[in-house]
A and B are shown apart, each in its own frame.
Chain A
Amino acid sequence: MNPEIKVLHDTAMEFNDLGKLAGISGEASKQSNYFKIAYLLEKEAALRYYAQKDNTLWRFGLLRSAGWLAVKNGAYEEAQHLALLGLTGKIDSHSKEELETLMETIQQEIKTKDKEKSTTSTPIYGTLSSADADQNLIKVREDGAQKYYEITVPKHLIFDIIKAYFGEVVEIQATRNEQGAFILNKIKKAA
């Protein structure tokens, strides 16, 4: 391992330790900062080593290590990318198994995150500017911007909503479904 990569990696491991220690002391913000630095340094070390095309245990180990740190930081797409880099090309079975375990964890975390996203209500403020009763859709234009939100509403409420709120400034609570579309939870006139 060249000296620059070694320094990057060793420093990453020390920041990881600091993060764990901050966690013991209940300093969540410090912990999160330390883990972030550890991740960025380890990712740099892993990618530089990968670029050398040097097929030793370091190559897979660094990618795996950076991948786990990415997971700790909630950077799931980057974690997936790092694991995939490791799984590409010739790899020994132990390293393969370890990277596959990392991949499974990432996929579980992404599922959990998507589920959380779909159950978290998003507030939307704006003017109900158009509606499509056939599609059960309303369009809300964000005040002061040309940004439109398309929101699906329950079929039995679409006419009542159009009657009560068309052209009005409204406050909406909506959640996203698996396809990312907004689904109406609540609507009222904005205060």
Chain B
Amino acid sequence: MRRLNLDQLKKGQPGISESAGLFLSEAGAYCLMKNGHQKGVEIYISGVKEEKLKVYWSQVLTEQMRKTWGDGEEATEYGAMGIAVLLVLKLTKYKILGRLVKGDRTDYLLGNEKDSNNPVAKMEVSGILKADSNNSINKRVGIKKRQVGKIKDRAYPVYIAVTEFGQPAAKFLIYESRN
């Protein structure tokens, strides 16, 4: 079984500094550990590809970490970003060229590392700490799809990545241009 290693984020990306990568890595590890998962937990990936991956990290859950991330809302946002970045690296030919503020959240510009001035795709990320009947991965994907899908003549593809940390799963979809 292939692996996702959250520690890989610590090396950074063309558009993610090493310190920001470390931050995403810790958030992802915290969300999984908060849900009682241990290193090597399986995450079910669907969307562009169906696959089970094992997730690894090196962090240990500490009191300080619990205090840092509080109720987990921010951790979920950043942890989902961490998983999404790893999925981009694992399942596409792109790198992360940059991240941008969008409301209270962040989205990403993707592209080829050698042409970092010219992003060719965007990615919208969302996360759920623990799904319930009102807040499932499919419902969240539906919301994102409606947001992205209403634009008919996009000039570039938009990826949607939604991660759930309770029963680890991620949907990673692509909305191609309809031109």
Q: What residues make up the interface of A, taking CB atoms closer than 8 Å to B?
A: 1, 9-10, 13-14, 16-17, 20-21, 23-25, 38, 42, 54, 56-58, 61-62, 64-65, 68-69, 92-94, 97-98, 105
Contacts and interface: CB of A to CB of B under 8 A. Distances in A.
Contact of A94 (B70, B117, B118, B158): B158
Contacts of A38: 101
A57 B122 contact: yes
A24 B101 contact: no
Given A20-B74, A38-B101, A93-B153, 17 more contacts: A1-B98, A9-B98, A14-B17, A56-B117, A56-B118, A57-B109, A57-B156, A61-B98, A61-B100, A61-B119, A62-B100, A68-B101, A69-B101, A92-B156, A93-B152, A94-B122, A94-B155
Given A13-B20, A17-B23, A94 B109 contact: no
Given A56-B118, A56-B119, A64 B158 contact: no
B69 A24 contact: yes
Contacts of B74: 20-21, 23-24
Contacts of B119: 56-58, 61
A24 B19 contact: no
A21 B24 CA distance: 12
Interface in B63-93: 68-70, 74, 78
Contact of A65 (B102, B117, B155): B102
B36 interface: no
Given A10-B17, A14-B20, A92 B155 contact: yes
Contacts of B78: 17
Interface string B139-157: 0000000000001111110
B115 to A, nearest CB: 10
**Size range of the chain B interface in the assembly:** 20 to 34
Nearest to B12: A10
Contacts of A23: 74
Contacts of B153: 93
B151 A64 contact: no
Contacts of A10: 15, 17, 20
17 contacts: A1-B116, A1-B117, A9-B98, A10-B15, A10-B17, A13-B101, A14-B17, A16-B101, A17-B78, A24-B69, A57-B122, A61-B109, A65-B100, A69-B101, A93-B152, A94-B154, A105-B103
A34 to B, nearest CB: 13
Nearest to A96: B151
A68 B153 CA distance: 24
B99 interface: yes
Contacts of B69: 24
Contact of A97 (B23, B98, B99, B151): B151
B6 to A, nearest CB: 17
Contacts of A58: 98, 109, 117, 119
A68 B20 contact: no
B126 to A, nearest CB: 16
B151 A54 contact: no
A62 B117 CA distance: 12
Given A56-B118, A57-B122, A58-B119, A68 B17 contact: no
A65 B105 CA distance: 10
Contacts of B70: 24-25
B17 A92 contact: no
